[in-house]
Structure 1
C-alpha cells in the first residue's frame, strides 16, 4: 500500500507591493479534515487514463475560522486519457512532434466568488461580487520526451450567473458546515456566456544531475471568461518521474523501486490579469453595476502585474 502526504501553498502579491509583508498565507494539506483543498486521483488501464477530483473552499482552513473573500469555492472533475493517433473533433490542436505523448482531458468545473461581508443583503459595490461560473472544457497535453518540451491547449465553454448554481452550492455547503448564511445572492452578477481558449508551453531549462531539474513555462488565456498571461519556472527535486514523459507521468506518484521517497516542487510565477468575468461582469452583458476598488479586487485581476510562488513538499512510503 502506498501512502502519500503533500503540503502545498501559494502566495501572490501585486508587483508594486510584492516586497511588502503580507498577512495572507495559504497552506494547503490534501486532508479534507484540515484544509479546504482535496485532490484524489486513480489510475486505470495501466496508467493510460486517470480521474481526478479537486475541491477547494476558502472557508475551511488551518486556522480554524472562515475567510469567504473573493474566490470562495470550487470543484473540478477531470478525466485524462492517453491518445493514440490524431483523430476526433479537436485533431487540429498542436502536437509536440511525431514522438510526442498526447493526453486528452475532459473537465467540468464550478467556481464561486462572494464578498467579504456575507451578512449584508445588498453587498457593497466596491467589494467582491457574488458570482458563479459553471464550465466544461476539453484539453490536449502533448509532450516530447526526446526534445523535452510540451504544449497544452484547452477550450472552455460555460455560463455565469444564476444558471451556474453558485448560490445553491454555497448555501448548501454553508448549511452543512454550520457557516454564516450568505444574504446577498439576489445581487449576483448577471447571466452571460463564458468561452475561453488557453495555451501553455513548457521547456526543460536545466537538469542538475539526477533528481533535480528546472522547467520554464508560459501561459496565455483569451476569451469572455478570463484574459491573462503568465511566465513561470518549476524547480523539482527528489524522486521524480521524467517531466516530459507525458501528462500522467507528472501527476502519478513516483514509480521507482524505493519504498520511501520524497519530492519538492517550487514554482515562482509572474502573471498579468487583464479581465475576469466573474469579478468584472460578463463580456456580452458587461455592465455589472459594481466598481470593485483597486485595493479590494482579487490579487490576480485588474490589469496588474503579480509575482507569486507555489511551494510544496511530498513524502510517500
Structure 2
C-alpha cells in the first residue's frame, strides 16, 4: 500500500510538472555572466567580466498584423569590465589594452514574423570611465574569490556619457526535413558614443530545436498567442565577421582626450561561438564559448571567454 501511494504521488508530481510546463508564459527574467575564467585556462585578460540582467514581456496578440507572430519588449542593465593581459598592470608601459568599464541600462523591441525572420531595435544609455564602477566590481570579485589584488585602474579611460543604438536582423535560411538542424543568417549594426560597427554571421543549430519565433536562440519562448513552445536541447555554432568602426573602451572618448592609455582597433575581427542550450517550460539554460581574433593594435593577442545564461518565465 505504501509503495502504491508513493508511486501515485510520484506520478502526480510528474504530471503536475508536465502540466505546469505545458503552457505559454508572457514574462521572463534572466541574467547572463561572461568571464574568461569559465574556460579554465588561468587567463584574466581583455574582456574579463560581464554581468547582465534582463526582463522581457510579450505584448498583446500581434496576429492581426500581417505576418507578425509576436512582439517582445526587453528592459536590461549591464556592466562590462576590461583590463590588459592581467588585472595587475600598475605601469602604463605594460598595459597592452586600457583598463575600462561600461555601465548601462537599455530597452529593446523584437518583431518576430511567421516566416521566421526577426528584427530587433535597441538603445542603451550609461557611462564609461570611473563612473562605470568597473574598478569596484573587479576588486569585489577578486576579493570574494580570493584572487590577486588588481592594480593599474588609475590609468583607466576617462568618464564619458554613453548613448548607443543597435539593430539586428535574423532570417531562417534552411531547415532539414526532420527539423533537427537549421541555418539562419544574422546581421547587426550599432552606432553610438561607445561602440560603432556592423557584422554578419551564420547560426547553425542541431538537436531538438524550435522555430525561431518560439526559440531560446532569440529569447522568444514567451508569447501572448496561446502557442506552447516544445522543449529544446541543441548544440549551436556561429561564425561571424565583425567590422569595428569605434570602441571607446580601447580608443577612449570621441569628444575629449581624457584617457591616459589608448590604442587603435583592428577594423576586422572574426568570432567563432560554440554553445549548448536547454529550455523547458519555465527555464532556459545556456553555456557558450567565444573565440575572437586580435582586436587591438598593440601587443595584445587573440582572446576567448565563456558565457552562462539562465532565464525564468512566469505569468
Note whether the superposition's TM-score is higher than 0.5.
yes
The alignment covers a number of residue pairs equal to 252
Q: Is the 8 A contact 1:154 1:198 kept in 2?
A: yes
Question: Which has the higher Rg, Structure 1 or Structure 2?
Answer: 2
Q: Is the 8 A contact 2:235 2:276 kept in 1?
A: yes
Task: Determine whether 1:191 maps to 2:159.
Answer: yes
Query: Shift of the alpha carbon at 1:313?
Result: 3.4
Query: Shift of the alpha carbon at 1:161?
Result: 1.0
* Aligned residue in 2 for 1:76: 52
Look up the SS of the partner of 1:195 in the other structure. Answer: strand
Query: Which of 144, 148, 152 pairs up with 1:176?
Result: 144
CA deviations over 1:277-305 (Å, ceiling 9, x no partner): 1111122224523243x7xxxxxxx1422
Structure 2: distance between partners of 1:130 and 1:265: 32
More helix, by proportion:
2
Q: Normalized against structure 1, the TM-score is what? A: 0.71
Q: Is the 8 A contact 1:162 1:191 kept in 2?
A: yes
Structure 1: distance between partners of 2:148 and 2:222: 36
Structure 2: distance between partners of 1:239 and 1:212: 8
CA deviations over 1:179-230 (Å, ceiling 9, x no partner): 1111111111110011111001111111221222111121001111101110
After TM superposition, the runs of 4+ consecutive aligned structure 1 residues lying more than 6 A away are none
Q: Is the 8 A contact 1:275 1:303 kept in 2?
A: no
Structure 2: distance between partners of 1:189 and 1:100: 43
Alignment of 1:65-214 (within 5 A): 65=42, 67-84=43-60, 99-124=68-93, 127-145=96-114, 147-209=115-177, 210-214=179-183
Structure 2: distance between partners of 1:227 and 1:57: 23
Distance 1:255 1:291, change over 3 A: closer
Q: Is the 8 A contact 1:143 1:245 kept in 2?
A: no
Once superposed, what is the RMSD of the aligned Cα atoms? 2.9
Alignment of 1:1-317 (within 5 A): 46-63=24-41, 65=42, 67-84=43-60, 99-124=68-93, 127-145=96-114, 147-209=115-177, 210-245=179-214, 247-249=218-220, 255-256=229-230, 262-286=233-257, 288-292=259-263, 302-314=265-277
Structure 2: distance between partners of 1:159 and 1:307: 27
Instruction: Give structure 2 stretches of 5+ with no counterpart.
Output: 1-12, 15-20, 281-315
